[in-house]
Structure 1
Amino acid sequence: MRELSTQSIETAGVTAVSAEHPVRALLTRRGLLAGTGAGGLAALLAACGGSTSGAGTTASSSSSAAGGKRGGAVTLSAPPPPTSLDPVTMYDGTAIALVQLVADYLIWLDSDFRLQPRLATAWSSSDGGRTWSFTIRQGVVFSDGTPLDAATVKASFDRLLDPANKSSALSAFKTVLKAGGISLSGADTVVFHLERPFSDFPYLVSAGNYNALILKPDYQVGTFAQKAIGTGPFLLNSYDTGTGASLTRNPKYWDSGKPYLDGVKVTFYKDRQADLLALQSGAVDGQILSEAGLVGPVAGSNSIAVDKVSSTGLTAFTLRVDKPPFTKKEARQAVAYALDRPGVLTSVYDGVGVLGNDHLFAPSFSSAPTDLQQRARDEAKVRTLLAAAGVDHLRFTLSFDPPNKSYALVIQDQLKQVGITVDLDQQTSGAFYGGDQNTDTPWLFTTANLVGWAGRPTASQFIIPMVKSQGVWNGSKYANPIVDAAAAAYDAATDPAERKKQAEIIAQALNEDVPVIVSVWNGAVRAYRSDRVKGLRAHPSAFLDLTTVTRA
């Protein structure tokens, strides 16, 4: 493993962050496992640097960086998206991946979660971290020929901040940036005026905030599938919610010479086993969303390669603190101590990932606490805690959608061994994430549930929506003023020691109160046919960048 160093420029009270370097080293990347291929996802290079602040375009070699053949098309598989194909409102992996092929961000995140310039070439902060300025790349045009400028970027974020548009990005911006907080400084600079200091703000306008895509000022929410106009590497030619999508190369893409492919076909498979069979048979060249437990056993057969990378993704095992039987923390702690976490890692995730400890700081976050004892299965402690909670027998219903069925079955079996009964409530993804998001959607309002969260580059992107009081995605209904205060201090701090101090306060409170059980921090995998495609790699957030992917 290697630790990235902080590389920033401190001048006259202004922190200038070159597009070439991260705001800080947030992650330590674990090497790819043997036999899984080399590198991160396509253009997401692991090497430090490589981009230059202020560059108009990034020069591309005439030969493919992936070592394959230019031209041609690849066919990828994915589950049908349960949400509409819309950059503003989407929150599922398939929709996000498809939109990322057509539209672009100010900043991309590489496989180390380092900030990489896309439509912004440089960014800087002032006023103690309350004001952030971004320089917009010149010479970029949308696929219909419309030029990109700072006003277009402002309009894109104004759209996300308008509650009427029901943007999924609001969860990240809440308490940080509100409507009316964006201004222009000339034709090429956008200025964000924050509600409070936020040292990781560039991540909130990057691909790490999936909905932060730059769209034309006249874009109407809900129309993307019919008229997809973006500055990304591909054009959306067709889209069918039941069967898939087809895309072709965008000749107006700002990064000269890319993408290397002429086209992409995406085929939807409702059943994950059918998806796997399509890969094995050669019906598809690779998967957009892979499950470690499914693809791991077939790696190495039929030219199937499985790329693996460390991630900060997790499946949150959420417990409603305001509903029986989990109103007492001892009942929640009992469930946490009933889990065999190494068993979960092995049986559900094929060993890809690291153990979690019931807080929201992945071990790869630089501020993650290191002295908090790892929680382990303890049957005697489970009995003691249940007695303290005043219950002879604990029984509850666990709600989930199909991707988390394996984890749900493991939870049911492991808890049964210590006398806790778990009734399983499997719902379709559409039903589980449907309903009114403010009143009755199952993923936020059932007594206990499993929700998959893709990897985030900062802990705040979990903490703010998931466990802060009144968090937009606070399914546990947890509220702790100590956590709220420490989270605000963590966001404002620029000194690593202070951030670590606040992280310890948050982690200890969450570990003690257990509104969310984090048994495992997932690794990320992506399976593909090595005889068909080159450069298709895993990414910790399941991002799909095909700019340097080629046919074999």
Structure 2
Amino acid sequence: MSTPDVDALPQSWQDVLPAGPSRRGFLTLSGGGALAALLAACAPSVDATATGSGQRGGTLRVGTPPPPTAVDPVTAYDGTSIALYQLVAEYLIWLDEDFKLVPQLATKWTSDASGRKWTFTLREGVTFSDGTKLDADTVKATFDRLLDPKNKSAALSAFATVLEAGGVSTQGDSTVVFTLERPFSDFPYLVSAGNYNAVVLKSDYAGDFAKRGIGTGPFTFESYNVSTGASFARNPKYWDTPKPYLDGVEVRFYADDQADLVALQSGDIDAQFLSRPALVEPLGSSDGIAVDKVQSTGVIVLTLRVDQAPFDRKEVRQAVAYGLDRPAIRQAIGSGLGDLGNDHLFAPLFPAAPTDITQRAKDEAKVAELLKTAGLESLRFTLTFDPPNKDYAVTVQSQLKEVGITVDLDQRSSKEFYGGDQAKDTPWLFSTANLVGWVGRAVPSQLIIPMVKSNGIWNGSKYANEALDAAADAYDAATSDAERREQAEIIAKTLHEDVPIIVAFWSGAARAYNSGKFRGVQAHPGQYVDFTTVSRV
């Protein structure tokens, strides 16, 4: 994958691009190897067949759980569906494994002085797999579709308060203009792979992607069976020649993670879309299986509802936070991958993440002191969750029992946990305490705006703080790295003190594959899929 054309970005964006060596290097390499990897990552992409590092052709067989809903780029939210349509359709901007912006269907983007008007220039000569030309009207139609509430797009939460219907216009065939509701210097991320529903589709797209998935991407949708899998063929019209190197991709659905893993170990598949770190990490490089790993911004959040007892007292929320052994949780739930969390929403992967806030650690004496200050002799509460977070819930229950806090577990089916009326009674937003898994986001605002801003669309804690709201708005409007760090510190310290949410660790991301047959398969912090440079060994 090529690196971003920094000269094509406005100065404000050069200020805030992630800096320093590749974060992949810290996880998978050491010494001179890390430097070599960094230099390789910064080099232009080349044809694998020209370097002798791989061979063109072949079909990559990939395992994954079946998608729980229709494979529709407008409404899909699950990892499998996203991976499937990312093989076929593309974004204005891609994100690499360090969440850096990489020009894809757009070659450059600039903002005006106000930070509210963003102009994107489209790549020339791009066509959809059926021969239809990519133009500005097509891109406008894509975002008009995502912004129309009647389409129930999963992208609406990302655009909330930033871009509304009617905010997209064109200037000729190759220029698209986005007029925002307020200054937002991270806006390019919202039309990138960081907003995973924002793939560009044909103007006449009608929700039939699994039947006639047409995109500008490296592969074409050949077949789809909701029970067994899907197949993809190399797109001969792909604009980024000579990619892709593969002839095709065959996707097979497996009922659970264990079955998926057995298929990889037995050779029935060559790679996984959604590797579970706890299962694949022990494999190491055994039996020709390699596990690529990166830092991520994925996170399981323990939400505490601040508008009702017992968590209407800050000291009670702090007591729970001090009752947890974070390294042990990371080891038990994340197989030791990822970074420790400190009860705020700036993962270490985010460039503006504060580094001077003391890491919160388990402290039994502090727990007792805080509960006494709150006037409580003991604490008991119910923790609600769905099956994927059962191990996390049991771990929290066990750890808090050690410091005298009783936790009653309330497991719901995923359908029930996320069901109900989203405005008044859905468990994931209205229970006293709950666990919610959030996929990796490219920028912290994608977590802060919906989760902890006053009246945020997914504010399960019911937390409201005017100072945090103001700092979040200032962060969004900031155009320099220094200003971003200043506002980030205000937000992080406020959350760390008030504890409406507990972040024990930020997950790492992994992707397992057969390194004896293929090379170029990489993990991604957002679990995104780019197989354009995968080749046979």
Shorter-chain TM range is over 0.9
How far the C-alpha of 1:103 sits from its partner, in A, is 0.8
In 2, are the aligned partners of 1:397 and 1:425 still within 8 Å (CA)? yes
The farther-off stretch of 235-244 and 518-527 is 235-244
Q: Give the Cα separation in 2 of the matches to 1:482 and 1:109.
A: 31
Q: Does 1:330 pair with 2:315?
A: yes
Q: Pick from 13, 18, 33: which aligns with 1:25?
A: 18
Q: Does 1:164 pair with 2:147?
A: no
Summarize the Cα distance change of 1:190–1:480 in structure 2 as closer, same or farther, 3 Å threshold: same
Q: Pick from 150, 173, 177: which aligns with 2:159?
A: 173
Q: Does 1:396 pair with 2:381?
A: yes
Q: Pick from 291, 299, 302: which aligns with 1:314?
A: 299
In 2, are the aligned partners of 1:66 and 1:548 still within 8 Å (CA)? no
Structure 1 portions without partners, runs of 5+: 52-59
Q: Pick from 26, 40, 48: which aligns with 2:42?
A: 48
Aligned-pair Cα RMSD in Å = 2.7
Provide, for residues 445-481 of structure 1, a one-character-per-residue CA deviation record: whole Å limited to 9, x for no partner. Answer: 3322222222222111111111111212222221111
Aligned residue in 1 for 2:185: 199
Summarize the Cα distance change of 1:401–1:71 in structure 2 as closer, same or farther, 3 Å threshold: farther
For residues 95-494 of structure 1, what are the structure 2 equivalents within 5 Å?
95-220=81-206, 222-494=207-479
Q: Give the Cα separation in 1 of the matches to 2:4 and 2:78.
A: 32
In 2, are the aligned partners of 1:72 and 1:262 still within 8 Å (CA)? yes
**Secondary structure, counterpart of 2:41 in structure 1:** coil
Corresponding letter in the other structure for 1:292: P
Q: Give the Cα separation in 2 of the matches to 1:62 and 1:376.
A: 47
How far the C-alpha of 1:26 sits from its partner, in A, is 6.3
Q: Give the Cα separation in 2 of the matches to 1:468 and 1:164.
A: 25
How far the C-alpha of 1:34 sits from its partner, in A, is 4.6
**Secondary structure, counterpart of 1:202 in structure 2:** helix
In 2, are the aligned partners of 1:39 and 1:45 still within 8 Å (CA)? no
**Secondary structure, counterpart of 1:63 in structure 2:** helix
Q: Give the Cα separation in 1 of the matches to 2:276 and 2:39.
A: 23
Summarize the Cα distance change of 1:291–1:467 in structure 2 as closer, same or farther, 3 Å threshold: same
Q: Pick from 77, 82, 87: which aligns with 2:73?
A: 87
How far the C-alpha of 1:205 sits from its partner, in A, is 0.7
How far the C-alpha of 1:411 sits from its partner, in A, is 1.1
Q: Pick from 66, 71, 78: which aligns with 2:57?
A: 71
How far the C-alpha of 1:161 sits from its partner, in A, is 1.0
How far the C-alpha of 1:5 sits from its partner, in A, is 12
Corresponding letter in the other structure for 1:243: T
Provide, for residues 418-461 of structure 1, a one-character-per-residue CA deviation record: whole Å limited to 9, x for no partner. Answer: 12222333344444334444344333333222222222221111
How far the C-alpha of 1:240 sits from its partner, in A, is 3.0
Corresponding letter in the other structure for 1:320: R
Q: Give the Cα separation in 2 of the matches to 1:522 and 1:251.
A: 37
**Secondary structure, counterpart of 1:302 in structure 2:** helix
In 2, are the aligned partners of 1:23 and 1:200 still within 8 Å (CA)? no
Provide, for residues 93-151 of structure 1, a one-character-per-residue CA deviation record: whole Å limited to 9, x for no partner. Answer: 11111111111000001112111111101111113211110001111111222111001
Provide, for residues 372-417 of structure 1, a one-character-per-residue CA deviation record: whole Å limited to 9, x for no partner. Answer: 1111101111122223333333223323333323222211211111
Structure 2 portions without partners, runs of 5+: none
How far the C-alpha of 1:519 sits from its partner, in A, is 0.7
How far the C-alpha of 1:49 sits from its partner, in A, is 6.7
In 2, are the aligned partners of 1:394 and 1:420 still within 8 Å (CA)? yes
Provide, for residues 281-314 of structure 1, a one-character-per-residue CA deviation record: whole Å limited to 9, x for no partner. Answer: 2221111111221111122222121111122221
**Secondary structure, counterpart of 1:275 in structure 2:** helix
Summarize the Cα distance change of 1:197–1:84 in structure 2 as closer, same or farther, 3 Å threshold: same
Give the share of equivalent positions with the same residue, in percent.
Answer: 63
Q: Give the Cα separation in 1 of the matches to 2:429 and 2:69.
A: 16
How far the C-alpha of 1:366 sits from its partner, in A, is 2.1
Q: Give the Cα separation in 1 of the matches to 2:283 and 2:309.
A: 43
In 2, are the aligned partners of 1:106 and 1:118 still within 8 Å (CA)? yes
Q: Give the Cα separation in 1 of the matches to 2:124 and 2:438.
A: 35
In 2, are the aligned partners of 1:338 and 1:414 still within 8 Å (CA)? yes
Summarize the Cα distance change of 1:451–1:142 in structure 2 as closer, same or farther, 3 Å threshold: same
In 2, are the aligned partners of 1:433 and 1:443 still within 8 Å (CA)? yes
Is the helix fraction higher in 1 or 2? 2
Corresponding letter in the other structure for 1:545: D
How far the C-alpha of 1:536 sits from its partner, in A, is 0.7
TM-score (norm 1): 0.90
Aligned residue in 1 for 2:484: 499
Aligned residue in 2 for 1:57: none
Q: Give the Cα separation in 2 of the matches to 1:536 and 1:514.
A: 39
**Secondary structure, counterpart of 1:314 in structure 2:** strand
